[in-house]
Amino acid sequence: MTEKNNWSTKTVEEILDELDTSKEGLSQDEANSRLEKYGPNKLEEKGGFSPLQLLIDQFKSILVVILIIAAAVSGYTAYIEGEAFTDTYVIAAIVILNAALGFFQEYRAEKAVEELEKMITQKVVVLRDGEEKQIESTQLVPGDLLILEAGTRVPADSRVIEEYNMAVDEAVLTGESVPVHKSAKAEEEEKSDPSNLIFMGTTVTKGRARAIVISTGMETRFGEIAGMVSGLEKEAPPLKEKMEGMGRQLAAISLVLTAWIFIMGYFFLEIELSEIFLTAVSMAVSAIPEGLPAVLTITLALGVNRMAKQKAIVKKLASVETLGSTTVICSDKTGTITKNEMTVTNIVLPNRKIEVTGTGYQVEGEFKENGEKINPEEDEQLELLLRTGVLCNDSSLIKESTRVNVVGDPTEAALLVAGEKIGYTKDKLEKEYELLDEFPFDSERKMMSSIRKGGEGGPLVYVKGAPELILQKSVSILTSEGRRELTDEDVESQKENVDNMAERALRVLALAYKETDRKEEYEQEQVESGFTYIGLVGMIDPPREGVFEAIKLARNAGIKTVMVTGDYRVTAVAIAKEVGIIEEENEEKVYTGEDVEAMSDSDLDEIIEKVSVFSRVSPQHKVRIAESFKREGHIVAMTGDGVNDAPALKTADIGVAMGIKGTDVTREASDMVLEDDNYTTLVNAVKSGRQIYDNVTKYVRLMLSANFDEFLLITASITLGLPLPLLPIHVLWINLVTDGPPAVALSMDPPSPRIMERPPRNPEEGLLNRFWKFILVASVIGFIASMLIYRDSYLMLGDLNLARTMVLTTIVFFEMVLAFQTRYERRNILQQGFRGIFGNKLLVGSVILSILLHLSIVYIPFLSNIFKLSPLTLRELGVCALGGLTALLIMPQWLIKERWYHPEEHQVKT
Give, as one character, the DSSP assignment of residue 193: S
CA distance 233 to 237: 12
What average pLDDT does the chain have?
Answer: 83
CA distance 618 to 622: 7
Quick check: 578 pLDDT over 70? Answer: yes
List the one residue out of 537, 495, 504 whose CA is nearest residue 376.
537
DSSP secondary structure, 670-695, as one string: -SEEETT--HHHHHHHHHHHHHHHHH
Quick check: 176 pLDDT over 70? Answer: no
Give strand ranges (E) for 81-156: 123-128, 131-136, 145-149
∠ CA 378-397-470, nearest 5°, is 60
Q: How confident is the model at residue 905 (pLDDT cuts 50, 70, 90)?
A: very low
| Contacts with 698 (C-beta within 8 Å, 6 or more apart), sequence order | 746, 747, 749, 822, 823
Amino acid letter, residue 806: M
Quick check: 14 pLDDT over 60? Answer: yes
Q: Which of 133-137, 297-301, 497-501, 666-670 has the highest mean pLDDT?
A: 497-501
Which residue did the predictor score with more confidence, 608 or 305?
608
Number of helices (H), then strands (E), in the chain: 35, 28
Residue 407 belongs to what H/E stretch?
strand 404-407
List the one residue out of 178, 191, 537 whose CA is nearest residue 352.
537
CA distance 429 to 303: 51
List the one residue out of 617, 603, 498 whose CA is nearest residue 563.
617
What would the mean pLDDT of 881-893 be, rounded to a whole number? 82
Which residue did the predictor score with more confidence, 91 or 880?
880
pLDDT at 117: 45
Tens-digit pLDDT profile for residues 371-428: 999 999 999 999 999 999 999 998 888 887 667 878 788 899 999 999 999 999 999 9
Angle between helices 380-391 and 410-420 (to 10 degrees): 140
CA distances from 833 to 639, 786, 819 (A): 43, 27, 15
CA distance 551 to 378: 40
Amino acid letter, residue 903: P
Q: Which residues pair with 539 in a beta bridge?
A: 344, 507
Indicate yes or no: pTM above 0.75: no
CA distance 468 to 140: 43
Quick check: 138 pLDDT over 50? Answer: yes
Instruction: Decide: helix, strand or coil at residue 460.
Output: strand
pLDDT at 236: 55
Q: How confident is the model at residue 568 (pLDDT cuts 50, 70, 90)?
A: confident
Query: Is 366 exposed, middle or buried (CB count within 10 Å of its CB: 0-12, 13-18, 19+)?
Result: middle
The answer to whether the CB of 180 falls within 8 A of the CB of 197 is no
Tens-digit pLDDT profile for residues 680-725: 888 888 888 888 888 888 888 888 888 888 888 988 888 888 888 9
Tens-digit pLDDT profile for residues 630-651: 999 899 999 877 776 778 888 8
Give strand ranges (E) for 170-291: 180-181, 197-198, 203-215
Instruction: Decide: helix, strand or coil at residue 622.
Output: helix
CA distance 449 to 385: 14
Domains of the chain: 7-38+141-215 (2.70.150.10), 343-540 (3.40.1110.10)
Quick check: 437 pLDDT over 90? Answer: yes
∠ CA 854-856-860, nearest 5°, is 145
| Contacts with 883 (C-beta within 8 Å, 6 or more apart), sequence order | 785, 786, 788, 789, 810, 813, 814
- Lowest mean pLDDT of 178-187, 294-303, 383-392, 818-827, name the range: 294-303
Q: How confident is the model at residue 903 (pLDDT cuts 50, 70, 90)?
A: very low
pLDDT at 393: 93
What would the mean pLDDT of 295-307 be, rounded to a whole number? 75
What would the mean pLDDT of 814-821 be, rounded to a whole number? 91
Give, as one character, the DSSP assignment of residue 397: E
Q: Which residues pair with 343 in a beta bridge?
A: 540
Quick check: 745 pLDDT over 60? Answer: yes
Tens-digit pLDDT profile for residues 537-552: 999 998 888 899 999 9
Q: Which residues pair with 464 in a beta bridge?
A: 448, 511
How many other CB atoms are there within 10 angstroms of residue 581's CB atom?
Answer: 25
Q: Among all residues, which ones are annotated catalytic? A: 332
pLDDT at 242: 67
How far is Cα of residue 403 from the mean position of the Cα atoms in its chain?
Answer: 21
Instruction: Decide: helix, strand or coil at residue 800.
Output: helix
Query: Is 584 exposed, middle or buried (CB count within 10 Å of its CB: 0-12, 13-18, 19+)?
Result: exposed
Quick check: 323 pLDDT over 90? Answer: no
Q: How confident is the model at residue 898 (pLDDT cuts 50, 70, 90)?
A: very low
CA distance 335 to 504: 19
pLDDT at 465: 95
Q: Which residues pair with 762 in a beta bridge?
A: none
pLDDT at 62: 66
What per-residue string of b and e applies to 378-404 under the rule 16 or more CB within 10 Å gives b? ebebbebbbbbbbbbbbbbbeeeeeeb
What would the mean pLDDT of 590-612 be, rounded to a whole number? 94
Tens-digit pLDDT profile for residues 833-882: 666 677 889 999 999 999 999 999 999 999 999 888 999 999 999 999 99
Q: What share of the chain is helix, strand, coil (3-state, %, to 5)?
A: 50, 15, 30
Tens-digit pLDDT profile for residues 748-772: 888 888 889 888 877 566 666 677 8
pLDDT at 906: 36
| φ/ψ of residue 185, rounded to 5 | -75, 145
The answer to whether the CB of 698 falls within 8 A of the CB of 253 is no
| Sign of the alpha-carbon torsion through 686, 690, 692, 693 | positive
Tens-digit pLDDT profile for residues 112-124: 545 544 443 478 9
What would the mean pLDDT of 423-449 be, rounded to a whole number? 90
Which residue did the predictor score with more confidence, 184 or 262?
184
Q: How confident is the model at residue 285 (pLDDT cuts 50, 70, 90)?
A: low
Share of the chain above pLDDT 70, in %: 84
The answer to whether the CB of 806 falls within 8 A of the CB of 793 is yes
Share of the chain above pLDDT 90, in %: 39
How many other CB atoms are there within 10 angstroms of residue 33's CB atom?
Answer: 13
What would the mean pLDDT of 164-180 be, rounded to a whole number? 78
The answer to whether the CB of 409 falls within 8 A of the CB of 465 is no
Quick check: 826 pLDDT over 70? Answer: no
- Lowest mean pLDDT of 107-111, 276-280, 329-333, 528-532, name the range: 107-111
pLDDT at 98: 65
The answer to whether the CB of 243 falls within 8 A of the CB of 171 is no
What would the mean pLDDT of 590-605 be, rounded to a whole number? 94
DSSP secondary structure, 503-567, as one string: HTT-EEEEEEEEE----SS--HHHHSSSEEEEEEEEEE-PBPTTHHHHHHHHHHTT-EEEEE-SS
